[in-house]
Amino acid sequence: MRFLGFLYLLIGSFATAGESLNRYDFSGAGMATTFRISCFCEDQEKANRAVQKCYERISELNSRFTDYDPASELMRLCAPEALMPFAVSEPLYEILKKSVALADMTHGAFDPTCGHLSHLWRRTKRTGRLPPKDRLALAMAATDWKRIRFQEGKTNISLVAGTLIDLGGIAKGWAADECLKILQQQGIQIAIVQAGGDTVAGEPPPGRDGWEVVLTADQINKKNILLRQRAVSTSGDLYQYVEIDGVRYSHIISPRTGLGLRERIACSVIAPDCATSDALATAMCVMGEDAGKNWVKQFPNIEVQFTKLNGSP
């Protein structure tokens, strides 16, 4: 799945705010990327308090969702010794529910149970060698979102033994949504949150119809969009890839083959929330342009934009 978005989503310039509102911009590290927050409110102190809560939330979610830390809540759920059903926190329960719903929607093009495949591919990127066929087959066999079960009325999860979850394709979008919610709860409605290749916007700046976001697929393909109460995410292999025996493989893993994608493609997805756009940006690249455009016809509230990258056949 997608670990880091490669496309730059740049916040454009805006008209001067009205007399009662000022613009404040913040930037900080989180989830192996940079979270940028821009907002309009009455004073610096209010903005500082709200954004501090955002970065605290990002850190908390990362400690729960990461698969790089064996002590994280996610890895404790996936540990061989974990007893099922396993009681998890509400954030982990809800993101897993969302992940499974999106996996079902995309028929597995997005699949949170791809953890074994992710670990194999990380090793491939380090060593420059494709995974052994037997280990790849075992990892493929353990990749199926139906291996996750939920206990309604409680935040209990049951996993089929040997399941390993990777939330890298949705966690940053989820965290961006959480930041926007926090800002709104703090009385800040005019805001935008960018997490690497994932962006979610609230109400637009004063006098504007939306926040201007520049989608940059490569040095040639750029497009400006206006974002209001919507989210956009992008995925592709412009910068993150590995070449093995003359073949270029993307960092985006296909749950269908267990390997990085070989098609040079990028996709931007506009959706009601950033968790959805984050996961679907990966899924659309896995599906490919024809299948992706056909699939999205079922969902009028979702838009997709594909770009063939330089070097595409």
Domain CATH number, residue 43: 3.10.520.10
Q: Are 39 and 193 in contact (CB under 8 A)?
A: no
Asked if residue 16 has pLDDT above 70, the reply is no
Q: Are 58 and 175 in contact (CB under 8 A)?
A: yes
Mean pLDDT, the chain, integer:
90
Asked if residue 14 has pLDDT above 60, the reply is no
The string over 39-51, giving b where at least 16 C-beta atoms fall within 10 Å of a residue's C-beta and e elsewhere, is: bbbeeeeebeebb
Residue 102 lies in a domain: yes
Question: Mind giving me the DSSP string for 138-157?
Answer: HHHHT--GGGEEEETTTTEE
Mapping DSSP to helix (H, G, I), strand (E, B) and coil, where does residue 298 land? coil
What are the CA-CA distances from residue 188 to residues 48, 217, 292 (Å)? 11, 31, 36
Residue 285 lies in a domain: no
pLDDT at 164: 98
Q: Are 202 and 229 in contact (CB under 8 A)?
A: yes
Element (H, E) at 280: helix 274-287
Asked if residue 17 has pLDDT above 50, the reply is no
38-68: pLDDT as tens digits: 999 999 999 999 999 999 999 999 999 999 9
Residue 299 lies in a domain: no
Which residues face 194 on adjacent strands?
A: 36, 199
pLDDT band at 146 (very low <50, low <70, confident <90, very high): very high
Q: Are 304 and 279 in contact (CB under 8 A)?
A: no
Asked if residue 92 has pLDDT above 70, the reply is yes
Residue 174 lies in a domain: yes
pLDDT band at 19 (very low <50, low <70, confident <90, very high): low
The 3-state DSSP composition of the chain as helix, strand, coil percent (nearest 5) reads 35, 25, 40
Least confident of 13-17, 76-80, 149-153, 271-275: 13-17
Which residues face 224 on adjacent strands?
A: 214
Residue 257 lies in a domain: no
pLDDT band at 214 (very low <50, low <70, confident <90, very high): confident
Residue 247 lies in a domain: no
Count of C-beta atoms within a 10 Å radius of residue 80? 6
Q: How many CA atoms lie within 13 A of 23 on its CB side?
A: 17
Residue 44 lies in a domain: yes
The domain total for the chain is 1
Domain that holds residue 85: 7-229
Residue 236 lies in a domain: no
Asked if residue 21 has pLDDT above 90, the reply is yes
